Amino acid sequence: MEIVKTVEAMQRTSEALRLAGKTIAFVPTMGFLHEGHLELMRVGKAHADTLVVSIFVNPTQFGPSEDYDRYPRDTEGDLAKARAVGADIVFFPAREEMYPDGFQTRVQVERVTRNLCGTARPGHFDGVAVVVAKLFNIVKPHLAVFGQKDYQQLTVISRMTADLNMDIQIVGVPTVREPDGLAMSSRNKYLNPEERQSALCLRKSMDLAETMFREGERDALAVRQAIEALINDHPHTRIDYVSLCDSTTLEDVARLGDETLLALAVKVGATRLIDNRLIRD
Ligand code: PAF
């Protein structure tokens, strides 16, 4: 496995692969790899000749009061995991390599960033869009793999790729979960044992919504209120949002249709967790 640290070297390597007729799959990450990331890598590997993984904690997607400085990092562990899964190249740039002095470009995807985490984390998706656009230009992949756990992020990237005519296939992969249903996330490691127990309120909320839907409930407010009551019953929780929205536009709906996205963001202790499920027949 090759480790590439500069933009120029990564672009040269990718260009050579393309000229040799090789296809490139790309998995962008912020490191502290867990089983969810490894699944994205396996999917990437199965779809292309070469798998490139990037590890870069992107400062532009963190708000001023968020956890950029304390975001977990484990370079040695990450490299070992990427190697074990069969990554061919790890792109591992320094902050100044990605954002040199004078950097001033923004990439803004509009409507699908207004609700959910876009409201709760202003500017977050501008940071995600700009870094992913840059990474796409650096790695030059044929396809890029993202987790459905970050449903809004996947929507934003798909929109950006289509709107800017980027010739890259975007592949979404179902969320990988712990045996009790908690979605895998690098932030889970912040949870103490009591909070870890309370964090199950996300999975229980999605089960509850599905049950209510199956029993005929279509009123989004009724489902939302039931979920809020369930979450508030769990200690150490603070709801950021509970949203029932259109799975394409991500705008809130008043009634559940054939397919509705339930998206949740809940602070458990100091840790903000997100999850989602498509509620449908
Ligand atoms: O999902 C993530 O880890 C990040 O948002 C991404 C896509 C790597 C961009 O920094």
What's the domain count of the chain? Answer: 2
Q: What is the length of the chain?
A: 281
Q: What is the CATH number of the domain that holds 201?
A: 3.30.1300.10
Ligand 1 atom nearest the C-alpha of 157 is: 7
Q: Is 281 part of a structural domain of the chain?
A: no
CA of residue 76 to ligand 1 center, whole Å: 19
Looking at ligand 1, which atom is closest to the CA of residue 57?
Answer: 10
Cα 185 to ligand 1 centre (Å): 12
Q: Which of 143, 270, 126 is nearest to 198 (CA)?
A: 270
- 120 belongs to a structural domain: yes
Is 37 known to be catalytic? yes
User: Which CATH number fits the domain that encloses residue 91?
Assistant: 3.40.50.620
Domain boundary among 173, 208, 232: 173
**Is 180 a member of any domain?**
no
Domain that holds residue 201: 186-276
Residues 13 and 146 in one domain: yes
Rounded CA-CA distance 87/235 in Å is 41
Give the number of other Cβ atoms within 10 Å of residue 202's Cβ.
Answer: 26
Cα separation, 117 vs 241, whole angstroms: 8
Protein residue whose Cα sits closest to atom 2 of ligand 1? 29
Q: Which of 37, 124, 142, 236 is catalytic?
A: 37
**Across the chain, where does the E strand assignment appear?**
2-4, 24-29, 50-55, 89-91, 143-147, 169-173, 237-246, 259-268, 271-280
* Domain shared by 228 and 165, yes or no: no
Q: Whose CA is nearest to atom 1 of ligand 1?
A: 29
Global pTM? Answer: 0.96
Q: Which two tokens stand for residue 13?
A: 């390597």
Q: Are residues 247 and 148 in the same domain?
A: no
Q: Whose CA is nearest to atom 6 of ligand 1?
A: 29
pLDDT of residue 281: 85
Give the tokens for residue 263: 């998206």
C-alpha 26: how far from chain center? 14
Q: What is the mean pLDDT of each run of 10 residues along the chain (281 residues)?
A: 98 98 98 97 98 98 92 96 98 98 98 96 97 98 98 98 98 97 95 98 98 98 98 98 98 97 98 97 85
Structural domain contains residue 181: no
| Residue 67 pLDDT | 85
The CA-based dihedral angle spanning residues 212, 215, 219, 222, taken in that order and rounded to the nearest 10 degrees: -40
Contact status, residue 122 vs residue 79, Cβ threshold 8 Å = no
Clarify whether residues 215 and 270 are in a common domain: yes
- Measuring from atom 8 of ligand 1, which residue has the nearest CA? 29
